[in-house]
Amino acid sequence: MLDFLKGMLSEFSGMDYGELRFHERISNIIAIRKGELESIASNNYSGVGVRTLFQGGWGFSSTSRSDISEIKQAIFDACASAKVSSQGKKNKAVKIEKANLATGKFQPVINDALTNHSFEEKLELVKKTEEKLRNASSIIQSSSVVYREILDKKYIVTTDGAFCEIIDSKPEFRVFAFASNGKDYVESMEAVGITGGWVDLFGSKKPDDFIDIVVQRAEALLKAEYAKGERATVILDPSLVGLISHEAIGHTVEADFVLSGAITQGKLGTKVASELITMFDSGSEGIAGGTLLVDDEGVLTKKTIIIDKGILKSYLHNRESAAEFGVEPTGNARAFEYSDEPIIRMRNTGIERGNLSLDEMITGVKEGYLLKRAKGGQADANAEFMFAAQEAYRITDGKIGALLRGVSISGQAFEVLQSVDAVSKDFKWDMGAGYCGKWQYAKVDGGGPYIRCKAIIGGRQ
């Protein structure tokens, strides 16, 4: 296929740049809710995305057919689109930066390939797990278990030298319960998403472990009191650190958002966080859910330091934005499917570990909270955020107290990071089961150590 695509590059004659991306995807999902199949599907599809640049204007086309005539037609359509686009680019002509382009075959380490396990085996796993969860406790009113996997094969060739094959494997597993004691209702969820194989997915927790965690948390939450809203010292676990890193900070440093006026515009070289904070985005992080060895422009990915000891050092770039800023591309161009154009996206975004133990961090808190297990939320271009936590524990005189419920955390992310006074030596990727939804989906991950900072706790007044 690589040689076939390379032979098609001659069709870009007269263009400034040409790119062909063949993408084959196997996508399987099994979801069971309250004993009934909610979703079950197995899809296998492929196609070619074509992108070209002519006198400062982009053109894009795609086709689900892989024969010569259809690809030639897609190239013709992309070239025609680029020529039209170039007419409106006289003052803002697009350029692309030179890059470290990939050649050869690239794939993550995969322990026990997902294809070694039949669809029927995966269905049976989901059925048994959901049944066990549903019957694990009388408080469980509704239960849901989801297994999903994405298996990708890509071939990328460009007129300036990319020539690569990319293999990827991303499974995920979710367990969710809605529980009630007849008076109150709570939700409890546990999930994992990785890059790798079957053994990698269930390496640290087996399916029955998910059930135990979800049920025990639900039972505890039903007995817990509500937190009181206040500004407080908080210790955030890796899941919340990952959520802040991705949602509240990461999007503000994606170069397309920066150019559109994000709060980070013009702030390179300035202090934006505590000197204890070093934040990064990386394509090569083992089994982390956002691992990406080559981006969808054929650029080799690398670890990009976003914040270095509190100083904003870099934005995240594709080849176009890198040329705009006069820097090297960071390998952040991503397209979810062959019919999507590559746009700037994160991969694995997190904060570097520190040198304290969690116990040492807790001991140093007179009054505050330990927050664990992120539950989602929202953030904006000004880095204002509000996220929920499944578990919150009151800390008094350096000791962990009772579990609280209904807790959220909010603030301005850079102000929160400015207040950080302790970072743990623990580190965990903990967002791999999710997707980023910036105009098109992308598998990402986020994580880090525990951090101690100041933020607003939301609860009942």
Q: Rounded to 5 degrees, what angle do the CA atoms 44, 48, 50 make?
A: 155
Instruction: Please give the mean pLDDT across all residues of the chain.
Output: 96
209 and 293 share one domain: no
Direct distance between the N- and C-terminal alpha carbons of the chain, in angstroms, rounded to an integer: 63
- Across residues 130-158, what is the average pLDDT? 97
Whether the CB-CB separation of 200 and 110 falls below 8 Å is answered with: yes
16 and 126 share one domain: yes
DSSP E strand boundaries for 181-314: 185-193, 225-226, 230-236, 279-282, 304-308, 311-312
Per-residue pLDDT at 93:
84
Which of 223, 246, 274 corresponds to the end of one domain?
Answer: 223
- Across residues 58-68, what is the average pLDDT? 96
- Give the percent of the chain with pLDDT over 90: 96
Residue 376: pLDDT band with limits 50, 70, 90: confident
| C-alpha distance from residue 130 to each of 42, 70, 198, 271, 385 (Å) | 20, 45, 19, 48, 33
Residue 92: pLDDT band with limits 50, 70, 90: confident
Whether the CB-CB separation of 455 and 389 falls below 8 Å is answered with: no
249 and 286 share one domain: yes
216 and 230 share one domain: no
- Rounded to whole angstroms, the Cα distance separating 334 from 152 reads 13
DSSP 93-113: --------B-EEEE----SS-
Q: Which residues contact 170 (CB under 8 A, 6 or more apart)?
A: 149, 150, 151, 152, 193, 194, 195, 289, 443
- As a residue count, the chain comes to 461
251 and 212 share one domain: no
Largest CA distance in the chain: 73
DSSP state of 251: G
Per-residue pLDDT at 460:
62
- Give pTM, 2 decimals: 0.96
357 and 240 share one domain: yes
214 and 299 share one domain: no
Residue 283: pLDDT band with limits 50, 70, 90: very high
pLDDT tens digits, 209-249:
999 999 999 999 999 999 889 999 999 999 999 999 999 99
Whether the CB-CB separation of 315 and 305 falls below 8 Å is answered with: no
- Across residues 387-403, what is the average pLDDT? 96
432 and 302 share one domain: yes
User: What is the amino acid identity at position 153?
Assistant: K
- Cα torsion at 213, 215, 220, 223 (round to 10°)? 170
214 and 236 share one domain: no
216 and 233 share one domain: no
Which of 205, 223, 241 corresponds to the end of one domain?
Answer: 223
230 and 186 share one domain: no
pLDDT tens digits, 26-47:
999 999 999 999 999 999 999 9
Which of 174, 208, 223 corresponds to the end of one domain?
Answer: 223
Task: Give the helix ranges, DSSP H, for 104-145.
Answer: 119-134
43 and 170 share one domain: yes
Q: Looking at the DSSP assignment, which residues form a beta bridge with residue 132? A: none
pLDDT for 162 beyond 80: yes
Per-residue pLDDT at 461:
42
Other beta carbons less than 10 A from residue 31's beta carbon = 18
The owner of tokens 């809203």 is 229
Domain holding 172: CATH number?
A: 3.30.2290.10
Q: How many domains does the chain have?
A: 2
Residue 204: pLDDT band with limits 50, 70, 90: confident
Determine the 3-state secondary structure of 144 from DSSP: strand
- Give the percent of the chain with pLDDT over 70: 99
Whether the CB-CB separation of 75 and 18 falls below 8 Å is answered with: yes
Domain that holds residue 247: 226-458
Query: Interhelix angle for 207-223 vs 119-134, to 10°?
Result: 30
